[in-house]
Amino acid sequence: MREACPEYADALVDFSDGELFGEKRREIEEHLAACPACRAELRQLDASLGQLKSGISTVTVRIQEHAGMSSRLGWTAAIAASLLLCLAAAWWIGLRRPDSNLAKAVPPPAVETDSAPRMNSRDALWQIALFEQEARLQTSLEMLPKDETFDEQRKKDERLLAKFQAMTRDVRAGYVQ
């Protein structure tokens, strides 16, 4: 059996629900007369709708409320919330008092910024590039396969890394700028 026509899928659902009227309803009825796949789809939709309706309870449920209990519980909760709000406000006001016994914030000590040697942007960029190259070389060495075919490359990279590390030590010590 072939599938229902996709262009009629939404209309079949509306038809099954009884939501189509007039010309659109007549158009679907004519199509159903000629298309067995859409008729089968409509039968399935109708069956599903029937199962859904039979599963819905129409019995009226009455809920009895204990007015005394919920009323007392509501008032108790309201009083507790008010008390908590008052305590929080009192605590906040206590924090804001200037003569409070709380620790006072001490400003950080003044730091002389002119005491450190300044470097120009070219030197700073050179140092950053040096540190980056050392890190890249170290990473590539760690990723190099431990195969003996790469021994010559590894030795060359290790010598180069040693030079970068020496230059980095000199830069950190202040020998090179």
Question: Three-state DSSP class for 90?
Answer: helix
How confident is the prediction for the chain on average, in pLDDT? 79
Backbone angles phi, psi at 67, to 5 degrees: -60, -40
| Dist. CA 177–CA 165, nearest whole Å | 15
Verdict on whether the full-model pTM lies above 0.75: no
Residue 11 has pLDDT above 70, yes or no: yes
Q: Give which of 142, 127, 115, 131 is closest to 175, Cα–Cα.
A: 127
Nearest to 83 by CA among 73, 71, 75: 75
Q: Which residues contact 108 (CB under 8 A, 6 or more apart)?
A: none
pLDDT, mean of residues 105-122: 67
At 126-157, the pLDDT tens digits run 778 878 888 888 888 888 888 888 888 888 88
Higher pLDDT, 102 or 62: 62
- Taking only Cα atoms into account, the Rg of the chain, rounded to an integer number of angstroms, comes to 41
How do residues 43-74 score in pLDDT, each as one tens digit? 998 988 888 777 665 666 666 655 555 667 77
Write down the pLDDT at residue 116: 55
Structure tokens at 27: 């158009």
**pLDDT cut 90: percent of the chain above it:** 16
Average pLDDT over residues 100-120: 64
Predicted pLDDT at 121: 76
- What's the pLDDT band for 168 if we cut at 50, 70, 90? confident
* Segment (H or E) for 146: none
**Residue 60 burial (C-beta neighbours within 10 Å; 0-12, 13-18, 19+):** exposed
Rounded Cα distance between 1 and 8, Å, is 17
- In whole angstroms, give the CA distance from residue 47 to residue 29: 18
